[in-house]
A and B are shown apart, each in its own frame.
Chain A
Amino acid sequence: MTQMALAVGLVAASAFAVATFPRSVLVFLFFQGSLLFVYRARIPEWLRWSLLALALLVLMPVIGYYNRYYLEVATQVGIFVALALGLNIVVGLAGLLDLGYVAFYAVGAYSWAIFGSPHANIIFGGDSFPLAGWWFYVFLFVGLGVAALTGILLGLPVLRLHGDYLAIVTLGFGEVIRVLANNLDKPINLTNGPKGITPISRPPAPFGLPYGEYFYFLALIIVVAIVIVSRRLEDSHIGRAWEAIREDELAARAMGVPLVRMKLMAFACGASFAGVMGVLFSAKQVFINPESFTFLESIGVLAMVILGGMGSIPGAVLGATVVTVLNLQVLKGFSLWLNELKNAGVTVLGYSLADLPTQFEPAKYERMVFGIILVLMMIFRPQGIFPARRRQRELAHH
């Protein structure tokens, strides 16, 4: 009973606080924390889900109305939750460490970017491009399919590799895709090289929604769909086969698990989530270039999965949220705060902050954040914050 009151109270209080102080990062973090509390609290299921729905469907857009940047953060969180859930299938469930995951995201993004912009005219001639906005919805599925196909193409040759060799080969694959995107402006101009592709069409937004809100809702819908698919997969015979492969490939094969088909399916499923989000990303950004698809992104998504707990769906959601918010808000917020202090001429222990080197920008240290997360989690809590039950048992066993 107290938890019920607390949950309702926290959500109400944090929403009110955000409305009052729309610029404060700490208050927005408080709002996110209250959602986490609602998820974990011992309250009836109907209350839990209606509170979460209220917060995500009503409160978040209202907050976004006061502060556009928070809506952008929420949309980014949605994108990364989808990526983390996809990688979670490959790494968490099937135990195949994929270090080039962002390649599939790139494939999805480029599929819409090329056909949703005048760029396709350069490839095919004529002036029938960009495709009309509603094609975007078709391309959500095209991106899904193309990425899944790329996943199978990568999966086929690496089926025989295990563990660290697989990791290195997927890393190489991710780099190859990025270098190709960077250089395929000749002999045929497919990707326009480092200059990137722009302008990419956006779909017509229904009910006259502003694009910020529209992409937020779209990301939310896709994430909910992906969570449902992930849950169903996890408990299906496919999910069990994946986990069997992760635990012991030989034993799994002896039990009649079709290794080849299951591994390819893991690559294809994981890749398809990234492909869908890639399409959304390119429409949201209007401009894409290879810079968005570096190895750093792959490791960021890996850090999200590891932080939450490999193989755990709530873990992937939490990990993606925490890491994205850390990057977009905490590091940036710290940078801004430091700048304000510098400009105000504050001194700490006799050291004037204005003397801080200009190259020292806390916002740029996302690699350090990823690195610290990965190392600390591996040493102290390899099962993650919200461990998957089966995974927890496995790690305890070793």
Chain B
Amino acid sequence: MDFELLIGIFPQVLLDGLILGFMYALIALGYTMVYGVLEFINFAHSEIFIAGAFVGVEILLGLKSVGLLDGLPWPVVLLLALLGGMAASGLIAVSVERIAYRPLRQAPRLIPLISAIGISFFLQDLIRLVESLWRNAFNLVYPTMDSLNLRFELTETIDVSVKSLVVIVGALLMLWALHLIVNRTKVGTAIRAVAEDQAAASLMGIDVNRIISLTFLIGGAMGGAAGVLFGVQYGLINPYSGFIPGLKAFTAAVLGGIGNIPGAMVGGLVLGLLEAFAASYLSLLTGGAFGAEYKDIFAFSLLILILIFRPKGLLGEVVRERA
């Protein structure tokens, strides 16, 4: 056992964990906001997230084909991709709610969940269909931007790339904006009122359906932003690669206490850090017997354990379980 090595990689692992954690936090917000107002797991959120990544890559590839990718300053390029991904994902989320969830709002509990699973699978292949017809490929790679790949060496063993900083700063800005919307605006008050009690909210003159659509729009847009950042950070995307991050983000939402917005952020960060440390230390500590592949098992087991022993999550929001 090389103790020096374990200490040495610590800062790098911490950084990786933070990036992963912010990504999970952004996705988890979509699950938690929808759960807050409808008490329903939006299973299709993982595809709403990856749809954002695809719109982002299309925008970047489009700019590249007209030669603007390196012509425009990189923050502008990135902002365009982010806004495009957010708009697309938000709109998809709203239409999915309108088509597949709203007609089922009075149905028994399992019915909308099964519909959501169906939408999730449908969207995966829809993205594949569109990309196959349009590009004749559905495994897409984010075009490299030199200024984003610039690395700062902090010490001999640790360095930070610009894109990692972009991901962290972008996620922080997004979370801050969401915090302002939910807690400081009239719309935010309405969202919280609907989450508290739909009937009472509608008696206070709140248009509940509009607020639910808005919740899907905001949650979807956050997911879309996460999708673009995911693509920028990890490069390769395919229509099915949203599923596992989606499941992990759901775990993060439950970890923080589902329905609880600050909880989703905390849960995301905790899960991201745990996973990064598990991925790099597990194989070192067990002499290679259990590799990084076990990080998925780690996350799922964590989910199962929380649901069984502390369904309220870390921040203790009361989970109203309905059969």
Contacts and interface: CB of A to CB of B under 8 A. Distances in A.
A325 to B, nearest CB: 19
Nearest to B44: A371
A382 B107 contact: yes
A187 B289 contact: yes
Contacts of A395: 108
Nearest to A172: B300
Contacts of A97: 110, 113-114
A303 B115 CA distance: 11
B293 A378 contact: no
A357 B109 contact: no
B15 to A, nearest CB: 26
A216 B100 CA distance: 39
Contacts of A303: 118
A182 interface: yes
A172 B117 CA distance: 15
A367 B121 contact: yes
Contact of B137 (A182, A359, A373): A359
Interface stretch (A50-58, A159-167, A226-234): A159-167
A175 B41 CA distance: 18
Nearest to A160: B308
A157 interface: yes
Interface string A356-389: 0111110011011011111100110010000000
Contact of B132 (A360, A374, A394): A360
A157 B308 contact: yes
Given A302-B114, A358-B136, A183 B291 contact: yes
A132 interface: no
B299 to A, nearest CB: 8
A378 B133 contact: no
A329 to B, nearest CB: 18
Given A162-B323, A168-B250, A179-B297, A375 B129 contact: no
A375 B294 contact: no
Given A162-B322, A183-B291, A172 B112 contact: no
Interface in B93-110: 100, 103-104, 106-110
A169 B118 contact: no
Given A157-B308, A165-B311, A374 B133 contact: no
A119 to B, nearest CB: 19
Contacts of B78: none
Interface string B244-280: 0001001000100000000000000000000000000
B122 A368 contact: yes
A172 B304 contact: yes
Interface string B128-147: 11001101111000000000
Main secondary structure of the interface of B (DSSP, over half): helix
A302 B117 CA distance: 10
B122 A375 contact: yes
B126 interface: yes
Contact of B133 (A167, A169, A360, A368): A360
Nearest to B286: A187
B303 A398 contact: no
A71 B176 CA distance: 60
B119 interface: yes
Interface residues of B, number: 55
B121 A370 contact: yes
B247 A171 contact: yes
A364 B103 CA distance: 30
B40 interface: yes
B307 A359 contact: no
A299 interface: yes
Contact of A367 (B125, B133, B296): B125
Contact of B115 (A161, A186, A249, A378): A378
Contacts of B128: 364-365
B297 A180 contact: yes
B129 A360 contact: yes
Nearest to B244: A175
A359 B138 contact: yes
A164 B41 contact: yes
A158 interface: yes
A221 B125 CA distance: 36
Given A172-B303, A357-B133, A359-B137, A374 B113 contact: no
Interface string B279-323: 000000000111101101100110110011001000000000111
A160 B304 CA distance: 12
B321 A163 contact: yes
B304 A299 contact: no
A336 interface: no
Contact of A378 (B106, B112, B296, B308): B112
B89 interface: no
Nearest to A362: B129
Contacts of A379: 100, 103-104, 115
Contact of B118 (A167, A365, A378): A378
B124 interface: yes
B323 A186 contact: no
Contacts of A373: 118
B118 A370 contact: yes
A68 B113 CA distance: 39
Contacts of B290: 183, 187
A164 B291 contact: no
B115 A374 contact: yes
Contacts of B303: 168-169, 172
A114 B141 CA distance: 39
Given A180-B297, A357-B133, A368-B121, A163 B322 contact: yes
14 contacts: A157-B308, A162-B321, A162-B322, A168-B254, A186-B289, A302-B114, A359-B136, A364-B128, A367-B121, A370-B118, A371-B118, A371-B125, A378-B118, A379-B103
Closest 3 CB pairs of A and B: A374-B118, A371-B122, A371-B121
Interface of B: 40-41, 100, 103-104, 106-115, 117-126, 128-129, 132-133, 135-138, 243, 247, 250, 254, 288-291, 293-294, 296-297, 300-301, 303-304, 307-308, 311, 321-323
Given A183-B294, A361-B132, A398-B106, 13 more contacts: A163-B113, A164-B113, A165-B311, A176-B297, A183-B291, A299-B117, A365-B128, A365-B129, A367-B124, A374-B115, A378-B111, A379-B104, A398-B107
